[in-house]
Amino acid sequence: MKLVEVGTVAFDAIETPFGKTDKIIGGAATYIGLAASFFIEKSGLISVIGEDFPSEYIDSLNKKGIDTAGLEVIPGGKSFFWSGKYHDNMNSRDTLITELNVLEHFDPKVPEVYQGCEFLMLGNLSPQVQGKVLDQLTTRPKLVALDTMNFWMDIAMEDLKAVIKRIDLLIINDEEARQLSGEYSLNQAAKKIMELGPKNLIIKKGEHGALVYHEDGLFSAPAVVLDTVKDPTGAGDTFAGGIMGYLASKGDVNFSTLKQAVLAGSALASFTCESFGTDRLFEITREDIDVRISEIKELIKI
Amino acid sequence: MKLVEVGTVAFDAIETPFGKTDKIIGGAATYIGLAASFFIEKSGLISVIGEDFPSEYIDSLNKKGIDTAGLEVIPGGKSFFWSGKYHDNMNSRDTLITELNVLEHFDPKVPEVYQGCEFLMLGNLSPQVQGKVLDQLTTRPKLVALDTMNFWMDIAMEDLKAVIKRIDLLIINDEEARQLSGEYSLNQAAKKIMELGPKNLIIKKGEHGALVYHEDGLFSAPAVVLDTVKDPTGAGDTFAGGIMGYLASKGDVNFSTLKQAVLAGSALASFTCESFGTDRLFEITREDIDVRISEIKELIKI
């Protein structure tokens, strides 16, 4: 298994200025796995769901090459549910409902077939759960990446720093980088964060692109300039999944490959924003992605 | 005269998390002229000051090749004064004091020696004053650029649109582009704004760089990632001045030249942020700027 992704598989109910959904499929691991599927034939997913989760959706993930041996189904359990409403500017949102359900006691188990994975993406979950996955690996992956959020910095900063110490690539947004480091300047924040352990750091800036700090240099990646953003939910996870899928397909993590991976992640994230939920990720082809990557490259051609 | 800049020459008193100044020299035309001076030998400045303005500072502008035949001194008058305090994040600020003084009845006069100028930068002023300068030109410059702010959109939108109709390049920030167009998507905003008249539009995004809409394409310019921002006052004017100075030195406005000009403007703006007021613009050399432009290019090298 080249890539294993860990994170939520969940229900979302989303309201944006462009519309409103009932419960639809979401979750970090879902978006990560789908985004990565454009670059690698197979990945392994570690998560937990309840019996309420539609098996047809699991089938559709499997068809995309996402192995769900690591997806635990809790008998009689209910899947994690999040509901949020985006403000008019789409850059901020209010959480309306968070029902942890089966996530509350999630005890991740790494299937034997996932052992030896080369790339591991620890999606946003409690640092303890992220650490438990690392504990179970018999060989260390070539690259371990981690996503997190300010919530964990508020309630579990020490646990978070402990797991960050064990990873190679941290992917967080600018606000989170500032909170984690206590530094306003992103350069200063990056220095402090990389002192915590990771050799590489990607600071996401939403519609403004991302800063990619690699041990060999700094890359300022532009974002696609979209005409319409319908629903940004999952864009960050899609970005991370695209990066990890691309890296896993290349098998290396040098600066040049990481840059290309970030462009791929940006392209994928832009598709996710174009519709609600995971819809666009089931519609697009590898060719659509390549066209968009070319468009991004054109944006920064001097 | 290759370039003429119109705007305030004024006193600022600034407070940021890094310090506080007494009355120091500021003003849009000051920053524009200084920034442009690195690329062209001479520019002409149109503004108004009171008798309280230090003549040594005028001398220092003249030494930089900034002609002040268009700088009217009002006998017994007091110069425009602005005082502001930046919030901890440096991205927003509160205006503490605005004393219009001689600016209140500013009636710009274009000196005969400025006629025939090839490039004209209309810095942030009332749209009526900006229009009055255009009215006096006997030949139309090759490129007229304009900066403005939300204040004029609030109180004089029709006057503003009337003057925007007469220009070639509008340079505003993302918030202003959204207000001017009524569109949230910057792409949509750009389309609507360019329908108002200007063939080219630069949307400034502060620490996130700028989007350059040219009739031949879109360029996403990165900003320098600074370790320390001491005082962003004048950064936008420096950016515009760098762009206009660079364009005036090249004498054309094609897409490729505009891209290079924006990189030059970004480099210059980054220096302005490194100290209070115009200090850094008197310290740096053309070589410092070229080094920084190379650093910016490196940031987006794939």
- Name the residue facing A225 among B218, B263, B299 (closest C-beta): B218
Contact A122, A167 (CB under 8 A): yes
Share of chain B above pLDDT 70, in %: 100
pLDDT at B79: 98
- Name the residue facing A219 among B90, B263, B299 (closest C-beta): B299
Quick check: B228 pLDDT over 90?
A: no
Task: Tell me the C-alpha to C-alpha distance, in Å, between residue A113 and each of A109, A247, B204.
Answer: 11, 20, 50
Please list every residue in chain B whose beta carbon sits closer than 8 Å to the beta carbon of residue A218: 225, 299
Greatest Cα pair distance in chain A: 58
The number of C-beta contacts closer than 8 angstroms across A and B is: 73
pLDDT at B80: 97
Q: Can you tell me the mean pLDDT for B1-13?
A: 97
pLDDT at A88: 80
> Could you tell me which residues are beta bridge partners of residue B26?
B10
**Any alpha helices (H) in B85-207, and if so which ranges?**
127-136, 150-155, 157-164, 174-181, 186-195
pLDDT at A227: 87
Cβ contacts of A197 within 8 Å, gap of 6 or more: A164, A165, A166, A167
pLDDT at A47: 98
Contact B88, B17 (CB under 8 A): yes
pLDDT band of B88, cuts 50, 70, 90: confident
Smallest Cα distance from A299 to chain B, Å: 5
pLDDT at A53: 97
pLDDT at B145: 98
Instruction: Chunk chain A into consecutive blocks of 10 residues (it has 302) and report each block's average pLDDT, rounded to whole numbers.
Output: 97 94 96 98 98 97 98 98 90 91 97 98 98 98 97 97 98 96 94 98 96 96 90 96 98 97 98 96 98 97 94
Of the candidates B218, B26, B51, B42, the one whose C-alpha atom is nearest the C-alpha of residue B124 is B26
- Note the ipTM here: 0.90
pLDDT in tens, B213-226: 999 999 999 999 98
Please list every residue in chain B whose beta carbon sits closer than 8 Å to the beta carbon of residue A301: 219
**pTM reported for the whole predicted model:** 0.94
pLDDT in tens, B42-86: 999 999 999 999 999 999 999 999 999 999 999 999 999 999 999
Q: Can you tell me the mean pLDDT for B260-276?
A: 97
pLDDT band of B90, cuts 50, 70, 90: confident
Please list every residue in chain A whose beta carbon sits closer than 8 Å to the beta carbon of residue B207: 186
